[in-house]
């Protein structure tokens, strides 16, 4: 007659044990990185689409509770979404670190961290008009032909756009051709688009023959490209003084305000905005991205070399865990 009682006691003991185990496992999970949950909104430059897709996938495999949402646009357009539209954003990665410094700091972000580089090239199809003869020396003459069309990005929306203007002005100096920049920039203005990756469709559909774009994007899409001299391509830090000799005007923080941008070697930057809804996951993602064996290995494979660590003007405002990825300016 006592057997049911014994079984009941044993069942009760087993349930208590299972409850303890579950509680312990839950507690341990909360103490691990895998406990990160929720959506992670990432605004990024169009030229980061390919590597960030791979990095997001690798990050989610390590943190399955996090869903990475990516939104690509011109870097300046991304910054406007944060500054002007107050769009929630956990991470903003810009093709030009100065976009963060001039449009977001100090009101919308505290710091900026530099992480990758790139260079300007002229991409084309194998059957683009003039493809069999264009070189790093004669490309201005080829692009200026009436029957040939080329595209470029909008300077007020995308760093690739104003870098194209700077490239044209550097080319005028390098090839000693007075008025070259003005002629290039006056031609084919109907093929200006918000970001450089928007131009790929125009190239694929034969609307244009060439486009000014980053080398990484050209390589990622297996496009032919003209590699420009270092004096023109905004790649070489040793030529910083030469690059600074040319300027371009772009829109500022307020309507009617103008920012004069000087040429400089290409450097990408990132930040976690002050309005980040998921700052813990954002910090983990940035650490994953900047890890040389993880995120930065993917960036390198995609043609965007690391510049980590680099000097940061906002080093003192960096989260402690990110300071190893920067140096004091």
Are 49 and 94 in the same domain? yes
Are 152 and 247 in the same domain? yes
Of the residues 224, 251, 278, the one at which a domain ends = 251
Q: What is the DSSP letter of 63?
A: -
Environment class of 51 (CB within 10 Å of its CB; exposed 0-12, middle 13-18, buried 19+): buried
H/E element, 26:
helix 3-30
Of the residues 193, 220, 251, the one at which a domain ends = 251
Q: Are 322 and 113 in contact (CB under 8 A)?
A: yes
Percent of the chain with pLDDT over 90: 86
Are 199 and 150 in the same domain? yes
Are 51 and 131 in the same domain? no
Within-domain flag for 4? no
Q: Are 121 and 214 in contact (CB under 8 A)?
A: yes
Within-domain flag for 23? no
Are 182 and 304 in the same domain? no
Domain count, the chain: 2
> Helices 49-62 and 279-290, interaxial angle, to 10°?
110
The pLDDT value recorded for residue 94 is 98
Task: Select from 41, 68, 37 the least CA-distant residue to 55.
Answer: 68
Are 133 and 74 in the same domain? no
The pLDDT value recorded for residue 26 is 41
Are 187 and 132 in the same domain? yes
Give the integer Cα–Cα distance in Å for 278 and 285: 11
Within-domain flag for 77? yes
Within-domain flag for 91? yes
Are 319 and 198 in the same domain? no
Are 60 and 75 in the same domain? yes
CATH code, domain with 211: 3.40.190.10
In three-state secondary structure terms, 114 is: strand
- Cβ-based neighbours of 175, under 8 Å, separated by 6 or more: 140
Give the integer Cα–Cα distance in Å for 217 and 153: 13
Are 132 and 109 in the same domain? no
CA 23 to chain centre: 41
Within-domain flag for 183? yes
- Cβ-based neighbours of 233, under 8 Å, separated by 6 or more: 119, 120, 121, 167, 227
Show the domain range for 310.
33-117+267-328
Are 271 and 235 in the same domain? no
In three-state secondary structure terms, 42 is: strand
Q: What are the Cα distances from residue 166, in Å, to 13, 25, 90, 243?
A: 75, 57, 31, 8
The pLDDT value recorded for residue 34 is 57
The pLDDT value recorded for residue 28 is 40
List strand residue ranges (DSSP E) for 38-88, in order: 38-45, 66-73
The pLDDT value recorded for residue 143 is 98
Within-domain flag for 258? no
Within-domain flag for 16? no
Within-domain flag for 15? no
Of the residues 222, 251, 280, the one at which a domain ends = 251
Residues of the chain with pLDDT under 70: 1-34
Are 91 and 103 in the same domain? yes
């Amino acid at each position: 007659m006592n057997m049911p009682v014994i079984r009941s006691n044993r069942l009760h003991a087993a349930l208590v044990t299972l409850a303890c185990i579950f509680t312990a496992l839950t507690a341990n999970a909360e103490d691990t990185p895998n406990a990160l949950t929720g959506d992670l909104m990432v605004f990024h430059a169009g030229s980061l689409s390919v590597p960030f897709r791979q990095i997001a996938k690798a990050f989610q495999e390590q943190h399955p509770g996090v869903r990475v949402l990516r939104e690509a646009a011109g870097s300046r357009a991304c910054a406007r979404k944060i500054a002007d539209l107050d769009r929630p954003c956990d991470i903003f990665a810009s093709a030009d670190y100065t976009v963060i410094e001039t449009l977001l700091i100090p009101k919308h972000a505290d710091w900026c961290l530099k992480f990758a580089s790139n260079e300007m090239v002229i991409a084309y199809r194998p059957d683009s008009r003039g493809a069999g003869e264009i070189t790093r020396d004669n490309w201005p003459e080829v692009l200026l032909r009436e029957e040939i069309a080329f595209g470029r990005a909008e300077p007020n929306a995308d760093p690739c756009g104003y870098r194209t203007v700077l490239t044209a002005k550097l080319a005028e100096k390098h090839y000693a051709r007075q008025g070259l920049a003005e002629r290039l920039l006056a031609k084919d203005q109907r093929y200006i688009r918000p970001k450089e990756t928007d131009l790929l469709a125009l190239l694929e559909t034969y609307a244009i023959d060439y486009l000014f774009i980053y080398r990484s994007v050209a390589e990622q899409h297996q496009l032919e490209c003209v590699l420009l001299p270092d004096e023109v391509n905004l790649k070489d830090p040793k030529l910083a003084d030469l690059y600074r000799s040319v300027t371009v005007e772009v829109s500022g923080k307020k309507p009617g305000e103008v920012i004069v941008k000087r040429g400089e070697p290409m450097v990408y930057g990132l930040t976690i905005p002050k309005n980040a809804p998921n700052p813990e996951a954002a910090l983990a993602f940035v650490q994953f991205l900047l890890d040389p064996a993880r995120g930065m290995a993917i960036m390198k494979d995609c043609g965007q070399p690391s510049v980590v660590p680099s000097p940061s003007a906002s080093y003192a405002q960096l989260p402690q865990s990110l300071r190893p990825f920067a140096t004091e300016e």
